Amino acid sequence: MKGLWAAALLLAPMVSALSQDLGPPKQVKDLGWMVGTWSGTGKIAFGGHSVGITSTMIVSFDGQFLKSVSTDKSAGYTLIKTTMTGWEPAKSQYVSYTFTNMAPTARIAHGKWDGKRLEMVSDPWEAEGTTSVDRETMSKISDTKYGLMMEYKDGEKWVKGMDFVLTKQ
């Protein structure tokens, strides 16, 4: 009998959790326009150099997060990124964690959605031996067009590093 009660006590929290909606919160669902497969080409500029870039991105909901997996190819180099974007209710802001093949730690960013643009600003993070702060702006142009701009902070000034349009496949 004691074993039955112990099992019931252990299972009760799991049943309660399963009965809750474990899908994304409303704020993450608001970014649902991003869900799909996207691709595009553009330019990336850093350190006074500009080279072409080709990007493919697959975006989906994953539990309470918006998950984006992208592959960027530029000048013989391939950058692979996985970003998980969620909602921090206590701070009323989005938070994202981006893992790449060029950094040993995640890029953590926070931001706001204004109904047309999601702007995320990173905490300082290290990639390829350099510490930087960057700002990523994702804009809904239409149901099939998605603007992506990446800037990095140089002193107190933002410098555009990448700006192009992705098309939904």
Work out the number of other CB atoms within 10 angstroms of the CB of residue 111. 19
β-strands 36-46, 49-62: how paired?
antiparallel
Confidence at residue 17, expressed as pLDDT on a 0 to 100 scale: 54
User: How far is the C-alpha of 158 from the C-alpha of 95, rounded, in Å?
Assistant: 20
Q: What share of the chain in percent tops pLDDT 70? A: 88
DSSP state letter for 123 = P
Confidence at residue 10, expressed as pLDDT on a 0 to 100 scale: 60
Contact in structure between 84 and 69 (CB atoms under 8 Å)? no
Greater pLDDT, 4 or 126: 126
Domain 23-168 has CATH 2.40.128.20: yes
User: How far is the C-alpha of 163 from the C-alpha of 104, rounded, in Å?
Assistant: 25
User: Dihedral of CA 70/124/117/147: which sign?
Assistant: negative
Confidence label for 1 from pLDDT (cuts 50, 70 and 90): low
pLDDT digits (tens, 9 = 90+) for 17-75: 555 668 899 999 999 999 999 999 988 887 778 899 999 999 999 999 999 999 999 98
